[in-house]
Structure 1
Amino acid sequence: MDVKWDKLQPKLSKFVLFTLRKLKFSTMTPVQASVIPLLLGNKDVAAEAVTGSGKTLAFLIPLLERMHRRAEPWKHFEIGGIVISPTRELAKQTSEVLKDFLDAMEQPFKQVLMIGGTKIAEDIEMLKSEGANIIIATPGRLEDLLTRGDVPLHVAVKSLEMLVLDEADRLLELGFEKSLNTILEFFPKQRRTSLFSATQTRQLELLVRAGLRNPVIVSVKQKSSEPSTFSTPKELVNYYKICSPSDKMKFLIQFLKHQGSGKKYILFFLTCACVDYFFELLRKLLPDFEMHSLHGKMKKKREKMLEKFRSATSGILFCTDVMERGIDIPDIDWVVQFDPPTSVSAFVHRCGRTARIGQEGSALTLLMPNEDAYVDFIQRNQKVHLEEYNADLDGSDEPGIDKITKELQLRDRACFDKANRAFVSFVRAYGKHECYFILRTKDLDFAGLARSFGLLRLPKMPELKNLQLDFEPVEMDFNDISYKDKQKESIRKCKLEEFKETGVWPGAKGIKRPKQTVAWEEAKKARMEKKEKRKKKKEYVQKKIEEGKTKNKRKRKKMTDEQWKELEDNISFLKRMKKDKNVDCDD
């Protein structure tokens, strides 16, 4: 049951309560009601709460209250609060929420956003000229600013009131443990520290011990009608569907058509290459849907794409796990996981993009037959209950998908390249699953998987070596597939001509690319000739050895008297040095 903000009136100043009413925040969520009084009461807090439970306000309100309480006014460049987020998108989202509060306050503090993707010189110049009181940053950029010494940030943080580690488990998963330890060394010990996460891990416990003093552990979970508690909101319904690899794309298209284009979907894939390829493919197969794509390699384009999707009333966002944490996009109806995530904890965070702050939502995970044990594993390991999706879909078959997929690749080599990169990246990422004992690469149906990607041929990769697969490549010369981009095609043709002459692809650092395939009989004949040649050479060498004609002993050069004397002097000098280490080397 939600609690009114007025219940905190003895601890929250009228100034902050007035700002909350002005922004139309009337009630607190359970995590806010549990954490805020502790942080205002000079306690360090490590909070675990389901995703979408309102953790952002749970640390921003105490931060602003503590800074407002200080009798001495804050200087132009004096840091009172720092929030560290694992990704740029989450940091920017937190900054936007804080901006709404600062705009509503009569005496606003100056906040700055320090994230990657921009030149660090620009951040340094901004800090020097405009100053700051609150910093929201990603760990890499904050560590860089603290250690460079170009700006006296290490001095400005001496008055730090509160440090927040948002999505702390994700900070550790992304390998920021070393950066966090470096950052913590610059901060005063007399500070309040709060750590927020949707899951607790062993690494997280170590970070709690290092960064928090006698912390209060807060775990806020929602109870359901089931006897056990689950780590996802009770308003979220989780489904799964088992499909053969070659049927996954057909089922996805049927599902999206059945749900309709008027809803908002987030579609998760395993790799950036898969996002790029399937975005192009589904844009052709589902022309009635508005589509957006976002992944970690898009850099500056990521922010524009996220804002565009956030403001849209409907559509599909194709993304990787860069979107799994904390990103708040309103009115998401469905989260669809085309592949299980490599990180087990990421499963909960992916699903948590819907059913946020009490709203209803649904999530669907598509699994292959070899992944059926994943359902029970997720329920035991992450306490997420999955129901089988059994809704009747319109149309038992999607005619023309394979034909359209192949036509796209034949029409433009860029699409052909994307399909092959997507397949290779998926197989390699699949081998890095945390639960590799369930999701094993050797159990994959590579032929069915290749058909689901619409491949024209199987790419050459170690995982497919010596495997007999039921896959028929398209009979054609793949060098005939051209790029739509005329400039790119012109460059490819020049390289192809050079390759035909030299057998080495230009720019490949001397690595020979495979030449045109030859008939099996000719290849076998060439192998037999090569084998026979090696046999004859071996017999010839053996014969020469027996005749004693291959004993070519190298004659050792004789040393002159001067060389012997020089060697004796060196040995004598080394012996003297060993006896007396104080011998002057100039003697």
Structure 2
Amino acid sequence: MDVKWDKLEPKLSPFVLYTLRQLKFATMTPVQASVIPLLMGNKDVAAEAVTGSGKTLAFIIPLLERMARRSEPWKHFEIGGIVISPTRELARQTSDVLKEFLDNMDTPVKQVLMIGGTKVAEDIELLKKEGANIIIATPGRLEDLLTRGDVLLHVAVKSLEMLVLDEADRLLELGFEKSLNTILEFFPKQRRTSLFSATQTRQLELLVRAGLRNPVIVAVKQKSNDPSTTSTPKELINFYKICPPEEKIEFLVRFLKQQGDSKKYLVFFLTCACVEYFSEFLKKLLPRFALFSIHGKMKKRREATLEKFRVAKSGILLCTDVMERGIDIPDVNWVVQFDPPTSVSAFVHRCGRTARIGHEGSALTILMPSEDSYVDFIQRNQRVQLEEYPKLEVDEELSVQKIAQKLQTSDRANFDKANRAFVSFVRAYGKHDCHYILRVKDLDFAGLAKSFGLLRLPKMPELKNLQLDFQQVEMDFNNIAYKDKQKEAIRKMKLDEFKETGVWPGLKGPKRPKQTVPWAESKKARDEKKAKRKKKKEYKQKKIEEGKTKVKRKRKKISDEDLKELEENIRFLKKMKTDKNFDCGIDD
């Protein structure tokens, strides 16, 4: 049953109700109806709810109500509320929602956003000059500001009314446990604390015990006849498709073309390097689509790119797990997981970028044949039911590999990106949580290399001594030039110096030149070397049999019994030396 905001007890302030009407939120979600009265009634709360269930308003409204109802006005630099978010994007999004309410608030309350990507000195100067009453921050930056003596933030938080840990399970996954423990030591014990997450873990239980006082545990589940669907919103339909690795990118292109360029898509890749490469690759394959890319190694561009995609009516955002939590992008129609995430719980959070707060949405996971057991695993472990996506109609022939190879030969930057993406994928694949299902040794490396459109296989330990059905392009790879003239001039200079000295500039030791001979010839040379070693070994064995060469005998290893006997003899001699009256058992 829907509950209207004006029917909530205790009653909300007029500025809150006015802002909710402006934002067109007529009724409360289950998590809001459960949590808000508890936080307004001086209770600590640990809330678990599916992603996209409206958790942000569930802590913003009680925070503002508590601050607005204080009898004394808030000072220039006196902190009444702190919200800790795991990522910059989520912190900025929370800040934007909070601003909507503060603009309509009668009591003057200021908020500041403290996240990475800027200099700490700039944040300190901002706090000193502008002051603050609410801080929204990432844990690393907040810990830095609290432990510094430059700004008296540790004094300003003595009046803290409410602390919020948003996406707390993600905070712990990213390794912020130590930072959170340090931060909690600065805060007064007489405060309200709320903790929000989509999943519950053992680490989270420990954090609840350390940071919350007699908390009320709130777990909001969606009603369903099928218990396997409780981890994701009921409006979300989950699909999967199993493709050979060399056909994955082709399937993705056909799928996107079939769905049309008027929708919004999120496509998740395993690594930052994969996002970098496939963003260039897909621009060639999907010229009619607006493409955006975002990953963890981007700095200031991340925020600008996210905002462009947020306001766009349609397009594709290629991303890593930096986008998996809490980010609210309107009207996302499809979430496509091109690669399974390294963290099992991230599967649900990725899907949760669509079908948010009652809207419908769909998600698709593309798997390789070696990953087919992942479907059953997700159904059992994450309680998510997956349906097989129907077969796509082939309306045109796609020369995916030819386009990839042309892309790489036209610009060495793309050649480098392709190799980095392949290497990063293989190494990240070995770090999967469910590595007993998704195993590196089960990968079809040749098919995978074809899916990346590689011109040749990179040298890496995982490929050593493997016989792969992969035919590299016959060419001199040193002839692939950078489009960037300055970068190409530097490369040529280094290459010329290497040819003269045998040492690559900037490296301490010699660097073998990049392979310029055909792969078949280099293999022939290796086989000849191997045959030569075998012949030498046979000749040596023949000489030994004829008695012309002595066999070097290996020194016999000391057994455990010999060592024990030696220890007893040493103890006997020591006792004889120290004890003059010792009877050695020899008659005079």
**After TM superposition, is the score higher than 0.5?**
yes
Contact 2:263 2:315 in 1 (8 A): yes
TM-align CA RMSD: 2.3
Q: 1:243 to 1:6 in 2, by over 3 A?
A: same
Q: 1:333 to 1:520 in 2, by over 3 A?
A: closer
Task: For 2:523 and 2:457, locate their aligned partners in 1 and report how far apart those are by CA, in whole Å.
Answer: 18
Contact 1:230 1:385 in 2 (8 A): no
Shift of the alpha carbon at 1:17? 3.2
Shift of the alpha carbon at 1:230? 1.3
Matches for 1:102-117 after TM superposition, within 5 Å: 102-117=102-117
**Farther-moved stretch of structure 1 (104-113 vs 241-250):** 104-113
Shift of the alpha carbon at 1:224? 2.2
Shift of the alpha carbon at 1:223? 1.6
Shift of the alpha carbon at 1:399? 2.6
Q: 1:410 to 1:78 in 2, by over 3 A?
A: same
Partner of 1:169: 169
Contact 1:239 1:365 in 2 (8 A): yes
Task: For 1:531 and 1:502, locate their aligned partners in 2 and report how far apart those are by CA, in whole Å.
Answer: 33
Q: 1:511 to 1:40 in 2, by over 3 A?
A: farther
Q: 1:131 to 1:273 in 2, by over 3 A?
A: same
Shift of the alpha carbon at 1:2? 2.2
Task: For 2:430 and 2:394, locate their aligned partners in 1 and report how far apart those are by CA, in whole Å.
Answer: 35
Task: For 1:482 and 1:430, locate their aligned partners in 2 and report how far apart those are by CA, in whole Å.
Answer: 31
Shift of the alpha carbon at 1:315? 0.4
Partner of 1:44: 44
Letter in 2 for 1:207: L
Shift of the alpha carbon at 1:404? 1.1
Partner of 1:459: 458
1:417 corresponds to 2:416: yes
Shift of the alpha carbon at 1:24? 3.8
The C-alpha deviation readout for 1:407-464, integer Å capped at 9, x for no partner, is 1111111111111100000000000000001000000000000000000110000000
Other structure's SS at 1:404 match: helix
Partner of 2:143: 143
Task: For 1:75 and 1:483, locate their aligned partners in 2 and report how far apart those are by CA, in whole Å.
Answer: 58
**Farther-moved stretch of structure 1 (505-514 vs 430-439):** 505-514
Task: For 2:290 and 2:411, locate their aligned partners in 1 and report how far apart those are by CA, in whole Å.
Answer: 23
Partner of 1:29: 29
TM-score by length of 2: 0.89
Shift of the alpha carbon at 1:337? 0.4
Matches for 1:206-355 after TM superposition, within 5 Å: 206-355=206-355
Contact 1:254 1:398 in 2 (8 A): no
Partner of 1:134: 134
Q: Structure 1 regions of 5+ residues with no counterpart?
A: 547-587
Aligned residues with identical type, % of pairs: 79
Other structure's SS at 1:104 match: coil
Partner of 1:364: 364
Shift of the alpha carbon at 1:401? 1.5
Other structure's SS at 2:297 match: helix
Shift of the alpha carbon at 1:105? 1.4
Paired positions, count: 544
The C-alpha deviation readout for 1:314-369, integer Å capped at 9, x for no partner, is 00000000000000000000000000000000000100000001000000000000
Partner of 1:87: 87
Q: 1:74 to 1:449 in 2, by over 3 A?
A: same
Shift of the alpha carbon at 1:242? 0.4
**Farther-moved stretch of structure 1 (481-490 vs 329-338):** 481-490
Q: 1:529 to 1:381 in 2, by over 3 A?
A: closer
Contact 1:90 1:327 in 2 (8 A): yes
Shift of the alpha carbon at 1:533? 8.9
Q: 1:63 to 1:409 in 2, by over 3 A?
A: same
Q: 1:129 to 1:446 in 2, by over 3 A?
A: same
Contact 1:277 1:415 in 2 (8 A): yes
The C-alpha deviation readout for 1:514-565, integer Å capped at 9, x for no partner, is 56455555555556667899999999xxx9999xxxxxxxxxxxxxxxxxxx
TM-score by length of 1: 0.89
1:123 corresponds to 2:130: no
Shift of the alpha carbon at 1:13? 3.4
Q: 1:329 to 1:522 in 2, by over 3 A?
A: closer
Contact 1:255 1:393 in 2 (8 A): no
1:184 corresponds to 2:201: no
Partner of 1:443: 442
Other structure's SS at 1:196 match: strand
Matches for 1:483-562 after TM superposition, within 5 Å: 483-514=482-513, 516=515, 517=517, 520=523, 522-524=525-527
Q: 1:515 to 1:325 in 2, by over 3 A?
A: closer
Other structure's SS at 2:194 match: strand
Other structure's SS at 1:117 match: coil
Other structure's SS at 1:298 match: coil
Shift of the alpha carbon at 1:6? 1.4
**Farther-moved stretch of structure 1 (67-76 vs 23-32):** 23-32
Task: For 2:534 and 2:506, locate their aligned partners in 1 and report how far apart those are by CA, in whole Å.
Answer: 33
Q: 1:455 to 1:41 in 2, by over 3 A?
A: same
Q: Structure 2 regions of 5+ residues with no counterpart?
A: 552-588
Task: For 2:19 and 2:263, locate their aligned partners in 1 and report how far apart those are by CA, in whole Å.
Answer: 34
Shift of the alpha carbon at 1:145? 0.1
Task: For 2:526 and 2:113, locate their aligned partners in 1 and report how far apart those are by CA, in whole Å.
Answer: 62
